[in-house]
Amino acid sequence: MRGIWMIGAAMLLNGCVSSPSLSGTAGAPSFAALQQMCSAQPVDYGSDAQGVYAALFDAYVASRRGKLPKEDFCGFQAALAQHYTSEGASADPQVRNQWVAFLTDQRARALSWRAAVDPTLRNG
């Protein structure tokens, strides 16, 4: 019974919240391609890759549509990489929690940039 509930919950969430695959989908660059827009050296975010990709993708959409200059997009990307290196990869739970809080804030920030230029996010 629990398995059925978990499948149902996953399907519901997938229908409500989705982000492109890390390898890219139609119209969406891959995670590696987004990282290479600003740096030749991609960062391995491990299990946090999907969350970082979601933030980068939202910032990319805002940048591509003129809301976020490329310099700001690259600065956003660099800040994520810096915080992940110093906090996200840490084995200390308190330090890791700082990374999670930072990533959550940055995801909200990127989503607000995207919402300003993407009418599909404002049709509520």
pLDDT in tens, 52-107: 999 999 999 999 999 999 999 999 999 999 999 999 999 999 999 999 999 999 99
Band (40; pLDDT cuts 50, 70, 90): confident
pTM above 0.75, yes or no: yes
Q: Has residue 28 got a pLDDT over 50?
A: yes
**Percent of the chain beyond pLDDT 70?**
75
- Identify the weakest region by mean pLDDT among 2-6, 70-74, 90-94, 108-112: 2-6
- Amino acid present at 68: L
pLDDT for 4 equals 44
In sequence order, the 6+-apart residues with CB closer than 8 A to the CB of 123 are none
DSSP per-residue letters across 6-66: HHHHHHHHHHH-----TT-BTTB--HHHHHHTT-SS----GGGHHHHHHHHHHHHHHHHTT
The DSSP secondary-structure symbol of 88 reads I
* C-alpha closest to that of 48 among 100, 110, 101: 100
